[in-house]
A = this chain, B = another copy of it.
Amino acid sequence: MANRTVRPTLTDVAARAGVSKSLVSLVMRGEQGVSPATRQRVREAADALGYQPDSRARLLRSGRSRLLGVVFGIEHAFHVDLVTALYTAARDSGYELALSAVTPERDETEATASLLQDRCEALIMLGPRTPAPALARLATRLPVVVLARDVRGADVIRTADADGLRQAVDHLAGLGHRRIAHIDGGRAPGAADRRRGYREAMHAHGLGRHVHIIAGGLTEDEGATAARTLLHQSRPPTAITVFNDRCATGVLDVLVRAGTRVPEQVSVVGFDDSHLARLAHISLTTIAQDVPTMTRLAVARAIERIDGLAVAHRASVVTPHLVIRSTTGPVAD
């Protein structure tokens, strides 16, 4: 046979402690109304047996799973930051997180389906790519909180993307930059708003004729490609705002390799303040999404809905803030 030891059940513990199952149940859950002596004996019996409650049975009986499903893209640096913070946010909520990763070979549909089978009570989806109607349909079955994407028919927690880019442009303009470019995120969630924020801020600073948007993307490679395009121009920009940190990392790399000094010759601003930006050797000036607030809101919203509180789907917009590091400086002239 296997080396698998049969796991002790609540009944085993009860037998060993010489009490009823109910008492053991109460003790294990830390409920009140058990004499200290009994509590003590039960604890000892449980420890001796190495008893661990079976969450499946527990949840089956109580009709709930106390599980919050999280769908995330495991290769996205920012999602990783969000998941990390979600664990913290959920810590004292009475709910556990059930992770389901989207990988190149495992799509969102699959990731979601497995969470549904686990009877998660709500879904928190990070930057989902699922079409809005499908998302809305899903939201009729269980509470769905969408993070980092704007969509109707579900609860949304997102960053004020346009405002973030405004802050970036304000910062650069304040440093004297005029030729400020934007490497965008294409069709990625939030990209349209960030483009708009950039454009509006440029106009607000009277830099309308310097508006310059280049196709980028979410990845390092896409950033690198865009940066090369920029370098080959007759009059390259003195500052670049980039869709996200990951993409900005690619941009930085190309600049440095080309011998362009950052920030002396070109300033670069990212977006997200993901762990990438904080790396000492990158030290990227960026627009920080307020991850603790966003994740706290996401968990709170999910629970509200589970409790049947919220009625209409709401969108919470969280303000980002500028974090100045080493990739921005005064314009050289």
Q: CB within 8 Å of B: which residues of A?
A: 1-5, 7, 50, 52-57, 59-60, 65, 74-75, 80, 83-84, 87-88, 96, 98-101, 103-106, 114, 116-119, 121, 139-143, 219-221, 224, 250, 253-254, 256-257, 259, 275, 279-282, 305-308
Contact = CB atoms under 8 A, between A and B. Distances in A.
Contact of A2 (B105, B280, B305): B305
A30 to B, nearest CB: 15
A81 B5 CA distance: 32
Question: How many copies of the shown chain assemble into the complex?
Answer: 2
Nearest to A88: B105
Contacts of A88: 103, 105-106
A259 to B, nearest CB: 8
Contacts of A275: 75
B50 A60 contact: no
A84 B73 CA distance: 10
A67 B60 CA distance: 17
B101 A84 contact: yes
A279 B224 CA distance: 10
A87 B103 contact: yes
A57 B55 contact: no
Nearest to A55: B117
Contacts of A305: 2-3
A250 B276 CA distance: 11
B52 A4 contact: no
Contacts of A141: 5, 7, 50
Contact of A87 (B75, B101, B142, B281): B101
Closest 6 CB pairs of A and B: A2-B308, A224-B281, A99-B99, A84-B103, A56-B56, A55-B117
B281 A253 contact: yes
Given A54-B60, A87-B106, 9 more contacts: A56-B56, A74-B80, A84-B101, A87-B103, A87-B105, A88-B105, A98-B98, A99-B100, A256-B256
Contact of A3 (B53, B59, B143): B143
Contacts of A307: 2
Contacts of A103: 83-84, 87-88
A100 B55 CA distance: 15
Contacts of A3: 139-140, 143, 305, 308
A56 B59 contact: yes
A52 B120 CA distance: 12
Contacts of A83: 74, 101, 103
